[in-house]
DNA sequence: CGGGATCCGTTACGATACTG
DNA sequence: CAGTATCGTAACGGATCCCG
C-alpha cells in the first residue's frame, strides 16, 4: 500500500495529523460518530468521495486502531469507532465550532444522508446544561429520523428513530441550517418551517428550550 | 490563484476543514500560537515545507481572516493570528491530546525551532488547576528560552525569555519528549536530564509540581 | 539574508468503469 | 453491496532563481 505521506515530526499535533489529517478522513470519522455505518452509507454521506479513496482511508483508520470492521445483519460489513476513535469527539466538535464561523460556498452539494446533522447537533447537545428540562423528541429532517433527548441535566442526539417520543418535529436540512446561521429566527423556524406533533402536551416547550440552548452553543463560538 | 479544493458541504465541520484542513495549515497555525513569526521562522519550525506551499497557505489564511501580516523591526514582515485565528486554540489542543497517543515514526526529523514545544506545553498548562502554586521559571530547551509561569490558580507558557525567573531549568527536546511519553520518570528527568539553577530557594518545588500537573493533562487523554 | 516566485518531477486525488 | 482498476488532473516537494 506504499507508505503514506508523514510529517515525521515528534510533535503530538503532527503525529495526530499523520493519522487523521488526510483529506476526507475527519469527515469519515464525523459520520461514524453517528454510529456504525456501511461502506455505502459513508460514500453517500460524503457526497462523492471516490470509492478507492474511501477504501484507502478506511484501511488506514483500521490499521491505526481508530475504527474496526464488524459484521452487521444480512452479512453486511459495518465500520465503527473503537475506543480510540471515540476520543476524536471533542476534536470534531472544536472543528465544527470553528467552521461554523465561515460562510458556506456558493455551490453546495447536498449529502446523501444526514449523519452530519445528528453528529453536529449531538456534539452541541452534550455541552448543554439542560437542568430542569425533560423531553424525548423525534426529530425528522428531510425524512430521516433522529432522537433528541433531555433529562437529568444532560441532553443528547442519536441517529436513530425515537422510541415513544413526547413530541415529533419535522423540518428540512435547509431550514435547520438557516436557523443555525442566524438567517431565520427561532420563531420563524417554528412557525414556517416545522410540522410539530405534540404527543404529551407541554413537552414541546422543553423541546424549544433545548433548541435554544443548542443554538447558543454555536453562537458563543 | 485558482480556487482550491473544497468539500462544498453545508456541514460546519467541512466548512472548517475547507479553511484549515489542507496539509501544513494546522502546523503553521500551531507555530503562530507561540506568537508572531517571520516567513523563515515558520519554514524552519516546519522542517522542510516547500517555500511555495508556505506562501500559498499563508495567503489563504490571510484571505480567510485567520492570520494577518504586520511589520516587525528592521522592515521585516511578521505573520500573526487574528482574533479568529486565536479561536483555533482548543482545536489544536485536542489534536495534540489525540496525537500524543500514537508512537512517533521511526525516522524523525528535528524541527529548526521549538515553537511547537512552547505551544504544546502552553496548551496543557492552560488546563491545569495551579491552585497554591507560584513560580516564574525560565525553561531553556536545547538553548531556546521559554517562560513558564504559575500564579492565581492558572499556569502558562510563553515562547520568550523569562524576565526575573525564580528558577532556571535547562534540558533537551529529546528528554522532554521522553518524559511526556512516559519513557522516563520525573525523577530520572530531573536527576539526569536537567540543569537546574534556583534563584529563589523553594520555588523549584512549585515548578516540579507544575510539571507533574502538565504531564497529567497528557496522561488523561 | 529575508521573502518570496517559477519550474518540474512525483504523488495524491477525483471520476468513471468494472467486478465478485 | 463492497469494493478494485484505470487514468486524467490537481496538489505537493525540491530546487533554482529573483528582488529589495
Q: What is the pLDDT of residues A96-123, one digit of tens each?
A: 999 999 999 888 899 999 999 999 999 9
CATH of the domain at B37: 1.10.10.10
* Kind of pairing between the strands at A135-141 and B67-71: unpaired
| A92 and A18 fall within a common domain | yes
User: Is residue B194, in this structure, part of any structural domain at all?
Assistant: yes
- Read off the pTM: 0.95
- DSSP three-state, residue A68: strand
User: Is residue A148, in this structure, part of any structural domain at all?
Assistant: yes
- Residue A210 contacts residue A139 (beta carbons within 8 Å): no
Q: In this prediction, what percent of chain B has a pLDDT beyond 70?
A: 99
Q: How many CB atoms lie within 10 A of CB A207?
A: 23
Instruction: Taking residues B193-220, report their average pLDDT.
Output: 94
User: Is residue B87, in this structure, part of any structural domain at all?
Assistant: yes
pLDDT of residue A3: 67
CATH of the domain at A196: 3.30.1050.10
| B119 and B216 fall within a common domain | yes
Instruction: Taking residues A8-22, report their average pLDDT.
Output: 95
pLDDT of residue A145: 97
pLDDT of residue B60: 93
| A23 and A86 fall within a common domain | yes
Q: Which of A29, A95, A91 is nearest to A65 (CA)?
A: A29
| B94 and B134 fall within a common domain | no
pLDDT-derived band at B3, boundaries 50, 70, 90: low
pLDDT of residue A16: 97
In chain A, the number of structural domains is: 2
pLDDT in tens, B69-106: 998 778 789 999 999 999 999 999 999 999 999 999 88
Among B residues 59-98, those touching chain A with beta carbons less than 8 Å apart: 64, 84, 87-88, 90-92, 94-98
User: Is residue A107, in this structure, part of any structural domain at all?
Assistant: no
- Position B198 pLDDT exceeds 80: yes
Q: Which of A190, A41, A119, A94 is nearest to B93 (CA)?
A: A94
What are residue A156's DSSP bridge partners?
A: A149
Instruction: Taking residues A11-23, report their average pLDDT.
Output: 96
Q: What is the mean pLDDT of chain B?
A: 93
| B209 and B123 fall within a common domain | yes
Nucleotide nearest A55 (Cα, C1'):
D3
Instruction: Taking residues A157-177, report their average pLDDT.
Output: 95
In chain B, what residues touch A100 (CB-CB under 8 Å)? 12, 15-16
What residue is closest to C13 (Cα–C1')?
A53
**Would the CB atoms of B16 and A99 count as touching at under 8 Å?**
yes
Residues with Cβ < 8 Å from B185, sequence gap 6 or more? Answer: none
Instruction: Taking residues A52-70, report their average pLDDT.
Output: 95
User: Is residue B215, in this structure, part of any structural domain at all?
Assistant: yes
Neighbour-count burial of A15, counting CB atoms closer than 10 A to its CB (0-12 exposed, 13-18 middle, 19+ buried): buried
B9 CA, D12 C1': Å apart? 24
Instruction: Taking residues B16-44, report their average pLDDT.
Output: 95
Q: What is the mean pLDDT of chain A?
A: 94
DSSP percent split of chain B into helix, strand, coil, nearest 5: 45, 20, 35
- Position A173 pLDDT exceeds 70: yes
- Position B1 pLDDT exceeds 60: no
Of the candidates A12, A120, A173, the beta carbon closest to that of B100 is on A12
- Position A2 pLDDT exceeds 70: no
Instruction: Taking residues B134-159, report their average pLDDT.
Output: 95
- Position B118 pLDDT exceeds 90: yes
A178 Cβ contacts chain C strand, under 7 Å: no
A23 Cβ contacts chain C strand, under 7 Å: yes
Residue that the C-alpha cell 429566527 belongs to: A185
pLDDT of residue A73: 84
* Kind of pairing between the strands at A144-151 and A77-81: unpaired
- Residue A16 contacts residue B95 (beta carbons within 8 Å): yes
Domain that holds residue B85: 12-99
**Would the CB atoms of A120 and B94 count as touching at under 8 Å?**
no
- Position B159 pLDDT exceeds 80: yes
| A127 and A206 fall within a common domain | yes
- Position B9 pLDDT exceeds 90: yes
Q: In this prediction, what percent of chain B has a pLDDT beyond 90?
A: 86
Q: How far apart are CA B169 and CA B138, in angstroms?
A: 6
**Would the CB atoms of B173 and A10 count as touching at under 8 Å?**
yes
pLDDT-derived band at A141, boundaries 50, 70, 90: very high
User: Is residue B149, in this structure, part of any structural domain at all?
Assistant: yes
Question: Given strand B144-151, what is the order of strands in its sheet?
Answer: B154-158, B144-151, B135-141, B167-171, B195-198
Amino acid at each position: 500500500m506504499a507508505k503514506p505521506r508523514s510529517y515525521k515530526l515528534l510533535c503530538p499535533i503532527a503525529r495526530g495529523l499523520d493519522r487523521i489529517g488526510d483529506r476526507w478522513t475527519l469527515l469519515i470519522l464525523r459520520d461514524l460518530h453517528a454510529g456504525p455505518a456501511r461502506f455505502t452509507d459513508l460514500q453517500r454521506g460524503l457526497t462523492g468521495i471516490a470509492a478507492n479513496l474511501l477504501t484507502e482511508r478506511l484501511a488506514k483508520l483500521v490499521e491505526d486502531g481508530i475504527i474496526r470492521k464488524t459484521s452487521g445483519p444480512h452479512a453486511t460489513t459495518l465500520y465503527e469507532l473503537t475506543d480510540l476513535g471515540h476520543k476524536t469527539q471533542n476534536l470534531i466538535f472544536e472543528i465544527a465550532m470553528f467552521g461554523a464561523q465561515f460562510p458556506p460556498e456558493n455551490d453546495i452539494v447536498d449529502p446523501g444522508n444526514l449523519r452530519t446533522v445528528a453528529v453536529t447537533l449531538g456534539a452541541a447537545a452534550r455541552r448543554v446544561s439542560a437542568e430542569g428540562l425533560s423531553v424525548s423528541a423525534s426529530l425528522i429532517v428531510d425524512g430521516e429520523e433522529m432522537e433528541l433527548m433531555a433529562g437529568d441535566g444532560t441532553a443528547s442526539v442519536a441517529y436513530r428513530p425515537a422510541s415513544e417520543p413526547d413530541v415529533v418535529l419535522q423540518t428540512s436540512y435547509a431550514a435547520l441550517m438557516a436557523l443555525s446561521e442566524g438567517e431565520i429566527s427561532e420563531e420563524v423556524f417554528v412557525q414556517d418551517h416545522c410540522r410539530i406533533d405534540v404527543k404529551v402536551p407541554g413537552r414541546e416547550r422543553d423541546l424549544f428550550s433545548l433548541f435554544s440552548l443548542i443554538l447558543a452553543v454555536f453562537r458563543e463560538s
